[in-house]
Structures are given as structure tokens and as C-alpha cells.
A and B are shown apart, each in its own frame.
Chain A
Amino acid sequence: MPDKILTKDGLDTFIQKLLTDYDLYAPVLKGADHTWSKIQDSQDVAWEFANTAKSPKKFFLPQSERLLHFTNNPDDPNGMIMHEEPGPDRPKTLLNIRPCDAKAFDVLDLVFCQDEQAPDVYWKSKRDAALLIGLACKSPCPTCFCFSVNCGPHHQEGLDILLVDLDSELLVRPLTSKGEAVSADLKKAPQEAVDKADEQKTQAEQAMTSRVDMERLQERTVLEEYDQAIWDRVHESCINCGTCTFYCPTCHCFDIQDETQDEFGHRVRNWDTCMSWLFTHHTSGHNPRGSKKDRVRQRFMHKFKYMPIKLGGAIGCVGCGRCTQKCPVNIDVCEVVNSMNE
């Protein structure tokens, strides 16, 4: 598929066309941070930003989501039968999603759609209908380390289109048939634009300062990594809140609860966190991960050891750095993983 070119002046036409079929969301500066917001034109769309404060995972895995409903009426025999909640109306386009966040969706597809006959229908229906237009990173920020976890500032996995910001114009690289269809009307990009984009890619990759090394960590067995002495120190300052898990684009654990009010009943799922002692607590009182050390170790082992084993090598981290930026006690994922690798 050949690269196309779009001037920033031509953005509004491009956006209007998308709005006929999609609800459009893009990063917008609100207060001090960039937030995913619904847009109707190109006016507030951000082009110079590191990343949004929160990851866009809420579009496919909302923090609270109704799965099933029932009329909470025990006198009606059919009242206690559960039915699927209706799906969303319009598909979504995420414009200017960063390559790390898009790759995170690909990783999560391996989890949510692991059973082909019975995938997670709530995730899949939103995913299949969505259009992801990514914005390549010009200058990675100090906490980014995507390049060392099978991702990168111009990474293409998970995107339908990759945009490269060339100041007054955008290189538009269609990557899927959906992306191709949406960019069909655009002019073909001149070679100099393609070259400029490649240059930007090399510069961005070289500008990355944070990295993690995982060679030894990958070679060791599960128990060898699990029994390392570092875990006694890593957990000390952790306060077991849910900040890292809620901000992380690849964290996907959730809780399912039933909620009732009068004649309404719903089965709801909410983001949950392995940092909470409740996460693994048995009704009997037994807790397999009863200590803070167990829980902190679990998070890093899950993302950097268990997921690659279970998902054919896919790492449960895309190097966005949000956990490090937001952690109230500054637990730095690069420091932890590098010490896992010692």
C-alpha cells in the first residue's frame, strides 16, 4: 500500500468524511494534560504532545461496563434469566493514538480473543469496528522505553493508519484494508516526504534514553525469577494502590459483580488491580498472594515473564512509561525490570 500525503489544512475535510461513519476521538489539551476527547473538527486536536495522561484502553475496556441484565423479580420465573446488554451504537475512530497504545491493543487481543469460538464479545465487537489512526512520535519523553519492548516510536502493529507529522503536512501510511479505504482519496506521497518520515523514525529511536534489558530474565525459569532476592526490596515502598494498573495500557484485570436496584439487575465488570489484597482472597480466608511482596512481584512477573510464556512471546508492556510517571512512590518499571534481569 503506497504512502499518502495530507496537508494539515486538508484535515477538516478528512475528519468530516470520517464523522459520517465514526465517532471521532483525539488527544486534546485540557488544563495541564492531554485527554482523549470527542471531536467534531481539527481545531483542538493535539499534534505536539508526549502522550495522553490516561491510556485509551477505556474505549474497548471501559472502567465500568454492564455485561448482562435481568429484571430482579423473583416472582417472575423469567425475571432471573440474564440477557446480554446491547452493544455500542457507532464505531469509534481514535485519531493520533500513539504507537505504544495501539500495540497494547494487539497484545490485549491475544488475551480477550484467545478462544476463537467464544471470545470476549464486549471487547471484540468494539475492537473490530474501530479505526485506529496513529501518530508517530517525533521526540520520545524520558520515561518512554518502547524500543526495548518490541515496540517503537513509529511502530505499526495495531494501527490501521500511521501518520507522521512533517510540520505542515502529514505522511499517511495505510496499514490495513480499513486504513486504505479511508485514505483512498488522498494524493500519493512524494518520495521526499517518505524519506523525511524515515529520518524522523531513526532520530526518534536514537533519542530514547530509557531502556530495559530482558535477555537473562527470558532465559531463566519461572521459579528462578520468582525466587530472586530483589523482590524483598522492590516491594518496600509500594503502597498497593491501583494507579499503575489503571494507567497501564496493557493491564486488563477486572472484577465482576452483580448490582441490583428495585426491578433492575446488572452484571457489571470494573477494572480491578492485582495490587489489592482482595484480588486473590478466597472466601475461606486463605490468600495465595497475602503479602505485599507477593502482589508486587506478581505484577512484574505477569507482564514480563508469564505473558510472554502464555502468549507466544508477547510482552505485557509497551514502554509508555505512565506507571513510572504516575506512581505515588516513584517505583520505576525500568529499574525493576533491569534488576529482574541481573
Chain B
Amino acid sequence: MSDITNQLRQRAKDLLAQGTVDCVIGYAKGSVPMQEKPYFATTPEEADNLVWSGFCVNNLANFLIGRSGKNAIVAQGCVSRNIIGLIKENQVQREDVYILGVHSPGMIDASKVQSHFPGRTITDVFEDGKEIVVRGMDFEERLPRKKFKRQNCFTCTHRNAVLYDEFIGQEGPQTGGGNIDNVAEPWEKLPPDQRWAEFEAAFKDCIRCYACRNVCPLCYCNICFVDENNPQWVGKSQVDADIYTFHILRAFHCTGRCTDCGACESACPVGINMRVLTKKLEKDIRDKYDYQPGLDLESVPPLSTYRADDPEIS
């Protein structure tokens, strides 16, 4: 990992010094365990703060929207697919982005690690080859990295950047080991009332902070449907019907566009696994339209276009 970090810093320095880009959007070391922070390096000196690790849990494509100037951006597979999506949706111009493609190590799921040490304060976590070392106020333990990867990283289909202007480091294995089509299967097997019960249980703790929505590169509407007030589609109080409406509708708005980057689940402060919705919806898109979002600049997302031979959904 440190090789990629060094290479990344060098290239970022060059790009900034030469004026090829105005800013390099990447990550810098975070001040809390298991979380690097999105970082905007605008000078060669600032480029020395860039890092690339298994704690880069946001989706940097989110920061391209509405950003002026020419920006370089550190992008692994899912992020590069979102950039392609944003270009197709006219939110980002191809010539304004300089993509620094990288291979993703698979991000660590901070809540999985914390669940392994319930109620204890973790002070530091660092990666050591196939293991992660977790330090707390009064303990230190080594854990197998693979077991504590984010679920979406485990079933990743494109770990290497799909579109890039240059590649930092070496391309690595393209998949994460798991089978993405199996993820939605448990839900598909459930009868409707049980499925509803599982859904309710999954979303009951939502506090409507909208971290999931705001961290997602797909959610860039000027006025989100939950913010409209004339008419007001969704209530603002903590009422189940309104909480569910927000999540269900947002999942549908993301359908055919979601790259399963997992930023939403990493952002959620109460640990909601809102991907239960998108995993199933994206599987339907794969099954019925034979489409995966963000793999090329030409194909149009199936829900953004009408074809006379669209499959009948029964």
C-alpha cells in the first residue's frame, strides 16, 4: 500500500506543479481509526498528505459534482464507474477530470471491527499484510483482513479503475472473492411478510441525517424529493412511513446507476445496511436488462431510456 501512496504523491505533485490540474482529490490520513478523510490537494506541498489505504471509505466522485476547474481524482473501480455515470448524466465533463486509476485493496468495515470489540474504545487500526492490527485503550489484537472487509468489497466485480488517464501502481485481482449475485438471494427467498419484517428491522433506527444520500455520487438533485414542501411529499417527523418512503424511493432513484461502492453504509452513523434495497434492485437490472452501470461511456442506463422491447416486469 505504501508504494501506491508514494507513487500517488509523486504524480500528484507533478500534475499540480505542471498546472495540468487545479486540484487532486484524494484522501489524507484520518484523525479517527479506520477512516481516511477526503482531501483536496491544491499545491505540490499538500500532495504529500495524500494516502491510499484500506480505510478510504467514501466515494470521491461525489466531490466532482459542481466543482469548477480541472480536477485529478483518485479512483478505484466503483468510483471510476460512478465518474463514467456522472459524465453520461452531464454532471461532469470528461475533459475536466484527470482520473488517477488505482486498484482497491478492499475497504475495512469499521462497524464489523467495532462489533468484534463491543463497547470498547478502539484507538488505532493499521494494516499489516493479510492482517489488521486493532489497538484499544487496554488491548491489542490481530484480525484476518479478509474477514473484516466491507460486504460490498467482498463481492466486488471491478476492483481496478475502469476508466483512467493514468494508473497508479499495479492492476490487481479484479474481483473480491464473493459472488455478487448471491447477496440478494436471501431476500429473494423470503415470503413477502417476512421480507417486510426484515425491511422494517433494517431501517427502524434511521435518524434522517441524510448522510447516506449526501455521500452518494448519484444523489445530486437540486431539490431532493424529501426537501420539497409544495407539495410536501415526505413528512419530516420520525414516523415509520416517512422513513421507509425516503429509503425506498432513494433506492429506486439509484437503480441502474448504483455501483455498490458502499459509501452509504460506511457513512451511516447508526449502522443501517441500506444496501439491502440496492443489492436486490441492481440484481434485477443485471438479470432483466443485462446491464451493469458505469462500464463504458456509450450505453445508456436502462431506466433512463425507453425501448420498445423493454422486458415486461411481472
A-B contact pairs, 29 of them (CB 8 A): A33-B119, A46-B119, A49-B119, A141-B137, A142-B121, A142-B123, A236-B63, A237-B37, A237-B40, A237-B63, A239-B211, A239-B214, A242-B208, A242-B210, A246-B207, A246-B269, A257-B235, A257-B236, A257-B237, A270-B237, A273-B209, A276-B227, A324-B31, A326-B269, A328-B211, A329-B38, A329-B215, A332-B32, A334-B31
Contact A32 B115 (CB under 8 A): yes
Q: Are B40 and A236 in contact (CB under 8 A)?
A: yes
B209 and A241: CB pair below 8 A? yes
Q: Measured between C-beta atoms, what is the minimum distance from A156 to chain B in Å?
A: 24
B114 to chain A: which residues have CB within 8 Å?
32-33
Contacts of A68 in B (CB 8 A): none
A243 to B269, CA, bound (A): 7
Q: How far is the CA of A63 from the CA of B239 in the complex (A)?
A: 11
- How many chain B residues touch A (Cβ–Cβ < 8 Å)? 40
Q: Which of A34, A49, A241 contacts B215 (CB 8 A)?
A: A241
* Distance between Cα atoms of A31 and B227 in the complex (Å): 33
Which of A31, A243, A330 sits near B35, CB closer than 8 Å?
Answer: A330
Mark contacts of B29-49 with chain A using CB atoms, 8 A cut-off: 1 yes-contact digit, 0 otherwise.
011100111111000000000
Check A331–B37 contact: CB distance below 8 A. yes
List the A side residues contacting B115 at CB < 8 Å. Answer: 31-32
What separation, in Å, do the CA atoms of A335 and B32 have in the docked complex?
Answer: 12
Q: Is B259 an interface residue (CB 8 A)?
A: no
Closest Cβ of chain A to B68, distance in Å, is 12
Tell me whether A41 is interfacial, beta carbon within 8 Å.
no
Which 5 A-B pairs have CB atoms at the shortest separation, nearest pair first?
Answer: A328-B267, A330-B37, A241-B211, A239-B214, A237-B38
Query: How far is it, in angstroms, between the C-alpha of A241 and the C-alpha of B211 when the chains are bound?
Result: 5
CB neighbours of A50 from chain B (8 A): 121
* New A-B pairs, 19, CB < 8 Å, besides A63-B238, A330-B36: A29-B119, A48-B119, A141-B137, A142-B123, A143-B32, A233-B40, A239-B214, A242-B208, A242-B209, A243-B211, A257-B235, A257-B236, A326-B269, A328-B215, A328-B269, A329-B38, A330-B37, A331-B37, A334-B31
B58 within 8 A of A: yes
Q: Does A341 contact B (CB under 8 A)?
A: no
- Interface centre among A142, A259, A273, by most chain B C-beta atoms within 10 angstroms, is A142
Residue A42 at the B interface, CB < 8 A?
A: no
Q: Does B160 contact A (CB under 8 A)?
A: no
B118 located at the interface, meaning its Cβ lies under 8 Å from any Cβ of chain A in the complex: yes
CB nearest neighbor in B for A48: B119
The CA of A147 and the CA of B154, in the complex, are separated in Å by: 42
Are A64 and B238 closer than 8 Å at their CB atoms? Answer: yes
Contact assessment for A32 and B111 in the assembled complex, using a CB-CB cutoff below 8 Å: yes
B215 close to A239 (CB less than 8 A): yes
CB <8 Å contact, B267 and A270? no
Whether A259 contacts B235 in the complex (CB less than 8 A), given A32-B111, A328-B215, comes out as yes
Residues of A close to B278: CB separation below 8 A: none
Interface residues of A in 227-260 (CB under 8 A from B): 233, 236-237, 239-243, 246-247, 255, 257, 259
A-B contacts, CB under 8 A, total: 108
CB of B240 to closest CB in A, whole Å: 12
Of residues 60 to 104 in A, which have CB atoms within 8 Å of B's CB atoms? 63-64
Chain A minimum-CB-distance residue to B30: A330
Within 129-175 of A, Cβ neighbours of B (below 8 Å) are at 139, 141-143
Q: Is the CB of B32 within 8 A of A325?
A: yes
Bound: A257/B236 CA distance, A: 8
A240→B209 CA distance, assembly (Å): 9
Q: Does A121 contact B (CB under 8 A)?
A: no
Does residue A182 face the partner (Cβ distance < 8 Å to B)? Answer: no
Task: Kindly provide the distance from the CB of B42 to the nearest chain A CB, expressed in whole angstroms.
Answer: 9
Contacts of A237 in B (CB 8 A): 37-40, 63
Cβ distance A278 to chain B, nearest Cβ, rounded Å? 6
With contacts A32-B114, A240-B214 taken as known, whether A270 is within 8 angstroms of B236 at the C-beta atoms is yes
- A236 to B63 CA separation, bound complex (whole angstroms): 8
How far, in whole Å, are A34 and B171 apart by their CA atoms in the complex? Answer: 42
Interface centre among A50, A241, A255 (most CB of B within 10 A): A241
> Is B266 in the interface zone, CB < 8 Å from A?
yes
List CB contacts (< 8 Å) of A23-65 with chain B.
29, 31-34, 46, 48-50, 53, 63-64
Give A326's nearest chain B residue, CB to CB. B269
Complex: chain B residue closest to A278, CB-CB:
B227
Tell whether A193 is near chain B: CB-to-CB under 8 Å. Answer: no
Residue picked from B115, B211, B227, most chain A C-beta under 10 Å: B211
At the interface, yes or no: B62 with Cβ under 8 Å from chain A? yes
Q: Would B119 and A270 count as touching, CB distance under 8 A? A: no
How far is the CB of B168 from the nearest CB of chain A, in Å?
Answer: 21
CB-defined contacts of A111 to chain B, threshold 8 Å: none
Docked complex Cα distance between A326 and B119 (Å): 15
In the assembled complex, which residues on chain B have CB atoms less than 8 Å from the CB atom of A324? 31-32
A115 CB, nearest partner CB in chain B, Å: 26
Complex CA distance for A34 and B121, rounded to whole angstroms: 11
Min C-beta distance of A44 to chain B, whole Å: 11
Whether A29 contacts B118 by the Cβ 8 Å rule is: yes
Q: Which of A34, A53, A241, A257 contacts B267 (CB 8 A)?
A: A241
Taking the closest CB of chain A, its distance from the CB of B203, in whole angstroms, is 15
| Partner pick for B137 among A139, A236, A332, A335, CB 8 A cutoff | A139
Q: Are B121 and A141 in contact (CB under 8 A)?
A: yes
**Distance of A89 from chain B, by nearest CB (Å):** 20
- B:201-231 near A, CB below 8 Å: 207-211, 213-215, 227
